[in-house]
Structure 1
Amino acid sequence: MRSIFNVSSFNRLTTRAFTSTTRAMGVQKTIIQEGNGPSPQKGDTVTMEYTGWLKDASSDKGKQFDSTTGRGPFQTQIGVGRVIKGWDEGVVQMKLGEKARLDITSDFAYGNQSFPGLIPPNSDLIFEVELKKIN
């Protein structure tokens, strides 16, 4: 699978970090594994492992569209608009070592745009993200 994050045309990605499941600003974050390190700051480069799915109300996750599994971790500057809004806001609220599920509504993902062949317009997305390193 190719990475959806190696593309120049992005909206943003956002989440709020809480110790339980919460809903705020288009992103629901559920902690899978607590982290015990610091949180990244806007502008930091982070290294993450992730898997992304198209949300499907009839199943737990839906159709997988991307994953770093077998490809190696993904690295990006966070909080500055290089990724979708749900990630930009959410990852800065995570702690180093944390693994979380991010349920992201379309307005915090790609909105009415598509990612050809992978993500239709107005798609809600699910990501499992693990914050591996703050560079």
Structure 2
Amino acid sequence: MLRTVLLHALGLLLFTTVALSFHPALTSFRPQTSLSSSRRTFLQTSLKTLPVLALSPLLPSPSLAADVDRVKVTKTKTAPAGSPAPSIGELAAIRFKANFGETVIDNIYDTPEPFYTRVGSGGLIRGVELILPQMSIGDRWVLTIPSDLAFGDKGRPASAGKPRIPAGAEIIFDVEMVGLPGKEPELIDLIGDV
């Protein structure tokens, strides 16, 4: 993830540098002016702030910790000690059942294959995304997620095979971490710790 963020930031800096080099006011062969020195200053400042900007999405924020605390977690099954846990950006295999009240939104326990998601990618509702990095393979937890960390004030309209979720709905999310491709203990035992 860090590598991706740095590559995107470097690409943005390179694009800006190239774009500025073709700007009409900057392409003349005049002696250095305040404009060319301001371009140099801009580039120097950009290179100094690039690492800070690239790392800022990875820094924990006080609001993140407060949001995590607002998700009620009931541990129904605990993973064995030493079970691997996902890091942000890693692929995780989960099974889950989500509902509000008695209405089932989705049930992956009924499918032959688990649901694969990249941890922290935003592919799931925010309340679940906040909790997944705390789980290990074998954990099964029931999450009670407040509406603003789920579907919010707008809810979600009905779609093919999915019910409408009303505004302000608290979501109950029963989730089990069933695999972390590349981190499963059997695979690590077979090929050795890399």
Query: What is the TM-score with the length of structure 1 in the denominator?
Result: 0.73
Q: Deviation digits for residues 32-73 of structure 1, max 9, x if unmatched?
A: 00012121111111101100110x3xxxxx322210133231
CA RMSD of superposed structures (Å): 1.8
Query: Within the alignment, does 1:129 sit opposite 2:169 as a pair?
Result: no
Which structure has greater strand proportion? Answer: 1
User: Letter of the aligned partner of 1:95 in structure 2?
Assistant: S
Query: Within the alignment, does 1:43 sit opposite 2:43 as a pair?
Result: no
For the residues of structure 1 that align with 2:97 and 2:128, how far apart are their CA atoms?
Answer: 13
DSSP-derived class of the 1:69 partner: helix
Q: Deviation digits for residues 83-112 of structure 1, max 9, x if unmatched?
A: 111111101101111000000000110111
User: Letter of the aligned partner of 1:132 in structure 2?
Assistant: V
For the residues of structure 2 that align with 1:134 and 1:93, how far apart are their CA atoms?
Answer: 13
Structure 1, unmatched stretches of 5+, are 1-15, 17-22, 57-61
User: Letter of the aligned partner of 2:78 in structure 1?
Assistant: E
Query: Within the alignment, does 1:66 sit opposite 2:66 as a pair?
Result: no
CA contact (8 A) 2:68 2:130 kept: no
**Offset of residue 25 of structure 1:** 3.5
Task: State which drifts further: 82-91 or 64-73.
Answer: 64-73
For the residues of structure 1 that align with 2:122 and 2:69, how far apart are their CA atoms?
Answer: 16
Show the counterpart of 1:29: 73
How high is the sequence identity, in percent, across the aligned residues?
27
For the residues of structure 2 that align with 1:113 and 1:42, how far apart are their CA atoms?
Answer: 28
**Offset of residue 24 of structure 1:** 4.9
TM superposition outliers: structure 1 runs of 4+ over 6 Å: none
Of structures 1 and 2, the larger Rg is shown by: 2
**Matched ranges for 1:90-129 at <5 A:** 90-117=131-158, 118=163, 119-129=165-175
Show the counterpart of 2:58: none
Which structure has greater helix proportion? Answer: 2
For the residues of structure 2 that align with 1:50 and 1:110, how far apart are their CA atoms?
Answer: 17
Aligned residues: 108
For the residues of structure 1 that align with 2:125 and 2:135, how far apart are their CA atoms?
Answer: 16
Query: What is the TM-score with the length of structure 2 in the denominator?
Result: 0.52
